[in-house]
Amino acid sequence: MSEQWTSKIGFILASAGAAIGLGALWRFPYLTGTNGGGAFFLLFILFTVFIGLPLLIAEFVIGRGAKREAVSAYPKLVNSKAWSWIGRFGVVGCFLLMTFYAVVGGWILLYALLSFGNFVLVDGRDYEQLFISITASPWASILGLVLFVFLNVVVLSFGIKNGIERANKYLMPLLFLFLLIIIFRGLSLEGAMEGVRFFLQPDFSKITAPGLLEALGQSFFSLAVGFSCMVTYSSYLGEKQSLPGSAAYVAAMNVFVSLLAGLAIFPIVFAYGIEPASGPGLLFIALPAIFAQMPFGALFLSLFLLLFFFATITSSLSLLEIIISAFTQNKGWNRRNVAMGSGVVVIVAAIPSALSAGLLSGFAWQEKTVFDLTDLLVSNVMLPVGCLLIALFVGYKIKRDLLFHQFQLAAGPVGRIAPFWLFLMRTLVPATILLVFIAQFFL
């Protein structure tokens, strides 16, 4: 393999960037708001620790053990080409995920560009109506989509060392700093503590079977597991890196950023009387409301949105990388040509989702647009299925010695828990995924 991560921190930050992005900062707040607050957050943490983290380690083990991208990693480990379909399932899943993910990335980019011209923060502006007008505009939505995918292609054309790793080292810490600024300002608002209570005080009466599936799906979505993205990322990893340690850092950072996102959004939501169940537009409505009350608010909003855009693009990079690497590693195709071709196909396929709030708003099934249905298919169906397949593959198909060798490399005392991890992969992880998935049809 020609490319490798140049440092441990580079791999961890890139993996965290792939995991955090829209999962923690955009999707988590609005799902938490829709599903009752604190109980959803607690379930999300439990699913992340006991289900998502073992699966993240599993994808790391598969990737580094095979030293191959997703499609060829599985058959190499069991010496059977038949198992390549798990990787192919992941490629399809990443592609579908990218078709609505890129639309949201385009929204963020447009907001960032508009905020530099003081267009967003205007006295008396209805921020909910602003979000509706931007997302309903076909020209704005498609322009944002094209720009977002184009920037992904540019970064991925430079590869791992010069593209993904370098960017993560410098910009991720700045994002954390801005989140802390928003939290401190939001907590100073009148009525903010009601939002804190909503977010941190569990009320299990508000949890439904579909809500359980949403919490489980969010743990998979935010950790970027289920579609073998992390198999591809860890295939570039050397043997001096502890896989369980790296996975624990990624999971901890993901939960921490989700906590920060909740503390940043919900105090503002309740202080300004915004409906917490506002859906995908929640973040875009709440952020301008708080920055409008800060000195140099327009400048800070622009900078935050750029950092938010960066967090978004680090996630989308992992989605496109699994597609690109399937051609560049196995068939020797030129990386830049494959990146450009993949970008064009994603743009064309994402147009229906981009137009869902405007021209295609009338095309809906049970009040769900193409955008909503794609999100539902990917997050609540394909991700759990992908995670179940990976759990069964690791738990029952790969040789125990290979698993333990990869798990214990550079792991130190943590390596001793390898049997417990394998036990989870064989029992708790697949059983929980099946129970939660089936429960939505009967409860």
Structure tokens belonging to residue 379: 């997050």
Nearest to 312, CA basis, from 10, 20, 67:
20
Distance between CA 443 and CA 433 in Å, rounded?
A: 15
What pLDDT score does 2 carry? 47
Nearest to 323, CA basis, from 336, 342, 307:
342
* Residue 1, in any domain of the structure: no
Question: CA angle 102-108-113, nearest 5°?
Answer: 125
* Residue 271, in any domain of the structure: yes
Nearest to 99, CA basis, from 345, 429, 326:
345
The total number of structural domains in the chain stands at: 1
Distance between CA 350 and CA 378 in Å, rounded?
A: 14
Question: CA angle 215-221-226, nearest 5°?
Answer: 110
Distance between CA 11 and CA 9 in Å, rounded?
A: 5
Structure tokens belonging to residue 148: 């977002």
CA torsion through residues 193, 194, 200, 201, sign: positive
Distance between CA 359 and CA 296 in Å, rounded?
A: 36
In this structure, what CATH number is given to the domain that contains residue 32? Answer: 1.20.1740
**Side chain identity at 128, as an amino acid letter?**
E
What pLDDT score does 1 carry? 44
The H or E element spanning position 34 is helix 28-34
* Residue 3, in any domain of the structure: no
The DSSP result for 302-350, as a single string, is: HHHHHHHHHHHHHHHHHHHHHHHHHHHTTS---HHHHHHHHHHHHHHHH
* Residue 285, in any domain of the structure: yes
* Residue 323, in any domain of the structure: yes
Distance between CA 336 and CA 332 in Å, rounded?
A: 12
What pLDDT score does 270 carry? 92
Range of the domain at 233: 8-439
Walk along the chain (443 residues) and give the pLDDT tens digit of each residue: 445 555 556 566 666 665 567 788 888 998 999 998 899 999 999 999 999 999 999 999 999 998 887 888 999 999 888 888 998 998 899 899 999 889 999 998 888 888 876 677 776 678 888 888 888 999 999 999 999 999 888 877 765 555 555 666 667 777 788 888 889 888 988 889 999 999 999 988 888 888 899 999 999 988 889 988 888 878 877 788 889 988 998 899 889 889 999 998 999 989 888 888 887 888 888 888 888 877 777 888 888 888 788 778 877 877 787 777 777 766 667 778 888 888 999 999 999 999 998 888 878 787 788 999 998 899 889 999 999 999 999 999 999 999 999 999 888 889 899 999 999 999 999 999 999 888 877 66
What pLDDT score does 5 carry? 53
The DSSP result for 45-96, as a single string, is: HHHIIIIIHHHHHHHHHHHHHHTS-HHHHHHHHHT-GGGHHHHHHHHHHHHH
Q: Is the pTM of this model over 0.75?
A: yes
Distance between CA 81 and CA 94 in Å, rounded?
A: 21
Nearest to 170, CA basis, from 5, 17, 3:
17
List of E strands, 182-252:
none
Question: CA angle 43-258-153, nearest 5°?
Answer: 120
